[in-house]
Amino acid sequence: MAGTHTEPALGIVPTQEETLLREAVAGICASFGREYMQQKRDANEPPRELWDALAARGYMGVNIPEEYDGGGLGMTALSWVGEEIAAAGCSLLLIVVSPAIVGNILDKHGTLEQKERWLRGIGAGTTKIAFAITESDAGSNSHKLSTSLRRDGSRFILNGQKTFISGVEDADAVLVVARTRLADGELGLPSLAIVDVDAPGFTRQSIPMAVRGADRQWTLFFDDVELEEERLIGGENGGLGVVFDGLNPERIMGASISTGVGRLALSLGAAYAREREVWGRPIGAHQGVAHPLAEAKVQLELARLMTQKAAALYDAAAPGAGESANMAKYAAAEAAIHCVDSAIQAHGGNGFALEYGLSDLWWAARVARTAPVSREMVLNYVAEHSLGLPKSY
Ligand SMILES: Cc1cc2nc3c(=O)[nH]c(=O)nc-3n(C[C@H](O)[C@H](O)[C@H](O)COP(=O)(O)OP(=O)(O)OC[C@H]3O[C@@H](n4cnc5c(N)ncnc54)[C@H](O)[C@@H]3O)c2cc1C
């Protein structure tokens, strides 16, 4: 994209627009509260009322172009929304997937008809589309994907399985990464297809997970699912390039959610350390308690800055967006884990009592070291692309 980008704008001091947007999102989330999320999770129901309340004010499609009913404010603003939602103790994983991954792929590669059919709803927050790339036999190696799309006249037939797919219970459709089955039976380049959740031949099974969020993870089964050609985004054999256009937004949102989780954990940890007295003064007066929290705060603010940089570069289509998005995702995941761990330690035994809300945050923070892209694959990227080291795999 070198030569075609606009000047990236990295605001160091929040603008009034950013402050107002953050306050509004935080206010809506606070009116639902952690109890609402717990009720939804215990009832196995998606947190739809919260999503709808945020969507009604335009926040769930704030990055999508205005001509498609979005806010036109790019990934920078969506990352503010994601961070505030997480900092309020509400987890909406579909924000990583629907407006960020699928929205950006449709915006860049969808035809006018496809944008009208799906992007407009994503912009308004009324359509939710999950994203399915992971397969148990392929893992981090996307060249080994085996879900297949076979042409049959003007239609395509989809077969295969996906795993760990988030939010399908509350999605209208899933954007599935599959590979073309060539005439000789071999698998060719990847193509992306939008599959409705109620399409005949599409079934799913819930995966019991330790992560205590309201969103669930699923194994998906595609058994001769028929698709019209209009459902292929980026065309037949669109290639991994189309997929990759969704991955930097995914990393930016993964980072934003981690920094939100980190903020929440530190605020709980610091509040407890200011009040709890064991030796006649607050435990926060002991450096053994204060320093881990302070270190985590430094790590968190560095990660937030890199996340803002990544979003600014992405929105400007400037060089370095991929490197920054990977670094932001890595730094934010590690910072969030450090924040939650320090906050748990500061709480003593109460860190493990459900009432204090920290044990819920543990898995929310820890999962970010593995998903949506693992720590090791980010380090592989940085080693190869930033440092010019040989690829090991
Ligand atoms: C809560 C949750 C939600 C998810 N949601 C979605 C979703 O919505 N859609 C979707 O498509 N997927 C989703 N995933 C899947 C997720 O993206 C993958 O789990 C993740 O990318 C890791 O892939 P894997 O599990 O196959 O691990 P593997 O690829 O099997 O890796 C196992 C370990 O080996 C390491 N490793 C692998 N290759 C290398 C290498 N070359 N060098 C160094 N280390 C290596 C990995 O880093 C990891 O630590 C989700 C996962 C979770 C846990």
- Ligand 1 center–CA 329 separation, angstroms: 14
Max distance between CA atoms of the chain, in angstroms, equals 79
Task: Report which ligand 1 atom has the smallest distance to the Cα of 138.
Answer: 26
Q: Is the CB of 96 under 6 A from ligand 1?
A: no
Most informative mutation of 176, 222, 257, 374 for ligand 1 (most atoms within 8 A of CB):
374
CATH architecture of 16-128: Orthogonal Bundle (1.10)
Token pair 């884990």 in the structure block, residue: 337
* List of the chain residues with pLDDT < 70: 1-4
Task: Report which ligand 1 atom has the smallest distance to the Cα of 141.
Answer: 29
Please give the angle made by the CA atoms of 302, 307 and 312, to the nearest 5 degrees. Answer: 125
**Whose alpha carbon is nearest atom 48 of ligand 1?**
374
pLDDT at 1: 37
Q: How far apart are CA 160 and CA 313, in angstroms?
A: 36
Q: For residue 54, is it left (φ>0), alpha (ψ between -120 and 50) or beta?
A: alpha
- Ligand 1 center–CA 362 separation, angstroms: 18
Identify whether the C-beta of residue 349 lies closer than 8 Å to the C-beta of residue 320. Answer: no
Are the folds of 16-128 and 241-386 the same? no
- Ligand 1 center–CA 311 separation, angstroms: 23
Burial of 53 (0-12, 13-18, 19+ CB in 10 A): middle
319-325 CB contacts, 8 Å cutoff, 24+ apart: 319/1, 319/2, 319/5, 321/248, 322/248, 322/381, 322/385, 323/381, 323/382, 323/385, 323/386, 325/247, 325/248, 325/249, 325/251, 325/252, 325/255
Task: Report which ligand 1 atom has the smallest distance to the Cα of 96.
Answer: 8
Structure tokens at 146: 């085996």
What is the signed CA dihedral for 181, 185, 186, 188, rounded to 10 degrees? -20
**Whose alpha carbon is nearest atom 44 of ligand 1?**
376
CATH annotation of 131-238: 2.40.110.10
Identify whether the C-beta of residue 125 lies closer than 8 Å to the C-beta of residue 54. Answer: yes
Q: Is the CB of 165 under 6 A from ligand 1?
A: yes
Identify whether the C-beta of residue 34 lies closer than 8 Å to the C-beta of residue 89. Answer: yes
pLDDT at 34: 87
Query: Domains of the chain: which residue ranges?
Result: 16-128, 131-238, 241-386
241-386 belongs to which CATH class?
mainly alpha
Most informative mutation of 96, 131, 161, 164 for ligand 1 (most atoms within 8 A of CB):
164
Q: Is the CB of 90 under 6 A from ligand 1?
A: no
Q: For the chain, what is the HEC assignment?
A: CCCCCCCCCCCCCCCHHHHHHHHHHHHHHHHHHHHHHHHHHHCCCCCHHHHHHHHHCCHHHCCCCHHHCCCCCHHHHHHHHHHHHHHCCCCCCHHHHHHHHHHHHHHHHCCHHHHHHHHHHHHHCCCCEEEECCCCCCCCCHHHCCCEEEEECCEEEEEEEEEEEECHHHCCEEEEEEEEECCCCCEEEEEEEEEECCCCCEEEEEECCCCCCCCCEEEEEEEEEEEEHHHEECCCCCCHHHHHHHHHHHHHHHHHHHHHHHHHHHHHHHHHHHHCECCCCEHHHCHHHHHHHHHHHHHHHHHHHHHHHHHHHHHCCCCCHHHHHHHHHHHHHHHHHHHHHHHHHHCHHHHHCHHHCHHHHHHHHHHHHCCCCCHHHHHHHHHHHHCCCCCCC
Q: Is the CB of 97 under 6 A from ligand 1?
A: yes
